[in-house]
Every structure is written in C-alpha cells, then in structure tokens.
Structure 1
Amino acid sequence: MEIHKNKIALVTGGSRGLGKDMALNLAKKGLDVIVTYNNKNEEAEAVVAEIQKLGQKAVAIQLNVSEVSSFDLFFQKVSTALKSTFDAENFDFLVNNAGVGVHESFLTTTESQLDDMVNIHFKGAFFLTQKALQIMNDGGGIVNISSGLTRFSFPGYAAYASMKGAMETLTKYQAKELGARKIRVNIVAPGAIETDFGGGAVRDNEQLNQFIASVTALGRVGLPEDIGSVIAFLCTEDAKWVNAQRIEVSGGMNL
C-alpha cells in the first residue's frame, strides 16, 4: 500500500517577514516546507524549528535570487534535501517571495538600482521557476508575489512596481503554458504591510502608518499574518480551480 506523503512547498525568502508567515501557514495546512534565506541563517533555522513544532518537516537552504548562475547548485542542494529530509524526489509548490525594495523617485533611479530590481524580482524569479519545474510534481502550483503598487502609484516605487507588473504578466503566461501539467499559477499582491521591508517605514513611521490606515477600507495597515494564510490557501486543494489570478490582499487600499 502506498504511503500518503505530505505535499512540499518551497518558499524563497522564508526566514522573516511575509515569507516566514507564509512558511508557518503552509505548515499549519499540513505541508512540509523548504525555506530559503540569503544571509539570515539563524533566523531561517528558527523558522524550521517552528515548523517542526507544528508537526511538519522543514529545511533551510541558502539562496541569492539575484544570482542566476547559482541556481544549478541550489537545486542540487534542494534535491539532496528532498531525499534526506522528506524522502521525496520532487516538490509540489513554489512561492517566489524573496525580494527587497528600493525607494527612489523615477527621476533619480540609477542603472544599478534598476538592475537590482530586475535581477531580484523578475529575472531571478523567471529563471528560478524555470529550473524548479524540472523537479516539481505535476498538479502542484506556483505563487508569485506582486504588490498593490501595480494598481495604484505611490511616488518612489517606479522601479520596484514595474518589476511586479512584469511578474503579473508572466503569471498569465506561466498559467497558460503549464496548464498541460495541471500546475496552477497565481500572483498575490499585498498592500502596505508592517515589516522591515524598505527599512521598516510602514511599521515605524507613524505618520505614514496613519496615512495608509486612512486610505484602507478596513482602517488599519496590513500585518504579515494577513498574507501568509492566503498563500497557504493557494497551495491546497481548496484552490484547485483558481488559476492565473491576481489576488490583492490589502484590506481595500485606495479604493
């Protein structure tokens, strides 16, 4: 008799903030989790320990999503971890969450700042997904991460938001082309969230925090725990007919 194995999700940038909350919510849904971190090894291992306390298997692997040349070695490590930690050959869900912001007006954005945004948010996610598909099971899913800033504009985010707009377009193409493998592809767009993203301005700048709350229908700024459960939902059978969608999770911001 075949033993039923847990589904496995890979969450990039899973050591803190939104990624951490996504990883924990996936575990609460009964998935095993691979989290990546760029340089916060201790924080990533703490997330692994929390997932294990929830009764699921987990492992943390280092990844810099801006270095496409490192992806082959990264997926060798993923394959090794799949065998040793999960007794599996493949995984089921990929969450492209890793990223950093840049706050700079369009007029003063430099070439290197734009290159960073391209490499981290678009090129990295593009090729990481391409390689991930070689060891992903059919019938799984991909969740890309966008931003409310693709629907409304907030001065200073031209480069960042443009990359997220590119990911929204890519999501539709991925959903179309991967349909034959029954892999669903969706993109989640958080509104402003209290994390250390972008230097923690939304969390720490009281004036900005109050302004965002004032333009949000539900009357407050978002928290990491507002987002992770939505990503986890998309990685379950409950979302089996949700495909190629942009799902904004912003509490009704700038309506």
Structure 2
Amino acid sequence: MSKIALITGGSRGLGRNTAINIARQGGDAVITYRSREEEARAVVAEIEALGCKARAFQLDTGDVGAFAGFAERLRKALRETWRRDTFDHLVNNAGHGDYALIADTTVEQFDSLVNVHFKGVFFLTQALLPLIADGGRIVNLSSGLTRVSAPGFGAYSAVKGAIEVLSVYMAKELGGRGITVNTVAPGAIETDFLGGAVRDTPDLNKQFADMIALDRVGVPDDIGPMIASLLGEENRWINAQRIEVSGGQNI
C-alpha cells in the first residue's frame, strides 16, 4: 500500500519539488495551495503521470479558523480516493518571506509571519493529528537563518526558531504513537521566496553563493529529494533533529 504525504504549499517551489520527488519514489500526495489553483492542478497531473494518486485543496495556512473544515475535506478525500481514514506523512512547508529590519517591522508583517510559520503549523498539525497514521512522519520547514544572522530577517528567523523548538516537543509528545518529527532547514535557494530575489538578482545570488562551500546557491532539486528520502523507511530512526540542507553555508 502506497504511503500518502500531505505537503502544504505544494503548488510551487520547495513544496512542489517535494511532492514530485515523493511520487518518484512511489508515494501518493495531497497538496495545498493558497491561491495558485492552476499550478496546483499541474502538480497533480505530473504526479498522476508518474503513476501515483494526488489531490489538491485550497488552504490558507495562516487562517486557523479554516483548519477544522479542511480536516473534514481531507478525511472525505482519503476515503474516496484511497479507501483510508489516515495519511502517513505531513510536511509543513507553506510559507512566505518578508524583509524588514527590526526597527522597521510592522505589526502586520510580524503577525503574518507568526500566523503562517508558527501558529498555523501548530494548529494545523493539531487539527490533523487524528488523521495521521501511527508510525507516521512530520517534517517542519525551518531556515538556515536560525543558525546565522542576516539583518532584515529578524522576525522571519525568530518564528522559524520557534518551529525548531516546537518540533522537538512534537517528537516527544508523539513518540508514543511511533511518529517521528524533524526539522529541515534549507539555506539560500532559488525559489519565489522574497519575490524570487535570490533566483533573479545576479548580485544577490553571487553574494549568497560566496557564503556556500559548494560555491553556488541551492535549487529546489537540492531539497525535495532530501525530504522525500527522510520520509523513507530507511530513515525511521531519525527523530527530533534539525537537518540543515545548505551546501555548507557560512561554515
């Protein structure tokens, strides 16, 4: 029986790459998207072309009030598509970046980052716990910016740091169900993050590349396969870890 993974923010970037690589290893996927329905449908089609099953659902991971309804829609989809009441793997990937010095950060910016990257992860996971199979996996996305500092990312990095602590507590509390919980912390990656700044700005790209031992910034294909591998049975004993995937950034 195929494993089923739920990847939030799976219509683009690291979430999309993770979902595709899970399918390449024979796993089925449920992805969420906030507004890019056509892109989400394209991901579903690509997964199905690989011979796996997939569904896509709209979800704003910063809207805690939507989580109960989403859990019910997911429960129905699991029964209709997989004849199951549970799924196996949760990848809390959805998120956005915001750049502002601490002196300039607005309440609105701060609240948005907290709601999506911390409060949303906490309460979405809580809402989905009854649907996660015993022996399952949770992967929470953090950032290389929790290990090194870069002015302008204070609020973003702080909420990612909170996720790293939360992951350890999740691992402890869910261990009795055989559920592992780990944090994956990417370094600088060429994605839509901050409007594609690292990907589309040559000077910024080089600035980050110069910090990385492998002399380039990362791409989604450096991250998605690693997360898919972490969900594999061969990595069942990895638990409560922060795993940085940065090519050796700032070492």
TMscore range, shorter length = over 0.9
1:43 equivalent among 24, 36, 39: 39
Look up the match of 1:150.
Answer: 146
Letter in 1 for 2:235: A
Among residues 67, 71, 76, which one is paired with 2:72 in the alignment?
76
The list of structure 1 runs, each at least 4 consecutive aligned residues, that deviate by more than 4 angstroms after superposition, is none
Aligned to 2:30: 34
Residue 28 of structure 1 and its aligned partner are, at CA, apart by 1.1
Deviation at 1:89, TM superposition (A): 1.0
Partner Cα separation in structure 2 for residue 84 and residue 112 of structure 1: 39
Q: 1: distance between equivalents of 2:214 and 2:207? A: 13
Number of the residue aligned with 2:58: 62
Within the candidate set 237, 241, 244, 2:240 is matched to 244
Partner letter of residue 121 of structure 1?
Answer: H
What CA distance in whole angstroms lies between the structure 2 residues aligned with 1:129 and 1:56? 24
> Structure 2 matches for 1:1-255, cutoff 5 A?
5-255=1-251
What's the C-alpha RMSD, in Å, of the aligned pairs? 0.6
Counterparts of 2:82 and 2:52 in 1: how far apart (Å)? 10
How far apart, CA to CA, are the structure 2 residues paired with 1:118 and 1:245? Answer: 22
Distance 2:9 2:234 in 1: 25
Shift in Å, 1:84: 1.3
Given the two structures, how large is their TM-score scaled by the length of structure 2?
0.99
Any stretches of 5+ residues in structure 2 without a counterpart?
A: none
Residue 101 of structure 1 and its aligned partner are, at CA, apart by: 0.7
Instruction: Using the TM superposition, give the Cα deviation of residue 229 of structure 1 relative to its aligned residue in structure 2, in angstroms.
Output: 0.8
Q: TM-score, normalised by structure 1?
A: 0.97
In the alignment, the residues of structure 1 paired with residue 119 and residue 205 of structure 2 have an alpha-carbon distance, to the nearest angstrom, of: 31
Q: CA deviation at 1:131?
A: 1.0
CA displacement at 1:87 relative to structure 2: 1.8
Partner of 1:89: helix, strand, or coil? coil
User: What amino acid does structure 2 have at the position aligned with 1:10?
Assistant: L
Structure 1: which amino acid aligns with 2:40? Answer: A
SS of structure 2 residue aligned to 1:218: coil
For residues 11 and 234 of structure 2, what CA distance do their matches in structure 1 show? 26
State the Cα distance separating 1:215 from its structure 2 match.
Answer: 1.1
**How far 1:97 sits from its partner (Å)?**
0.2
**Percent of aligned positions that are identical:** 57
Aligned-partner SS, 2:31: strand
Question: What is the aligned residue count?
Answer: 251
What is the CA–CA distance in structure 2 between the aligned matches of 1:184 and 1:28, rounded to whole Å?
Answer: 22
CA–CA separation in structure 2 for the residues paired with 1:92 and 1:195 = 27
Distance 2:81 2:35 in 1: 22
Deviation, 1:117, is 0.6
Question: What secondary structure does 2:162 align onto?
Answer: helix
1:35-84 alpha-carbon deviations (Å, 9 max, x no partner): 00001000000000000011100000110001101001111110111111
Deviation at 1:104, TM superposition (A): 0.6
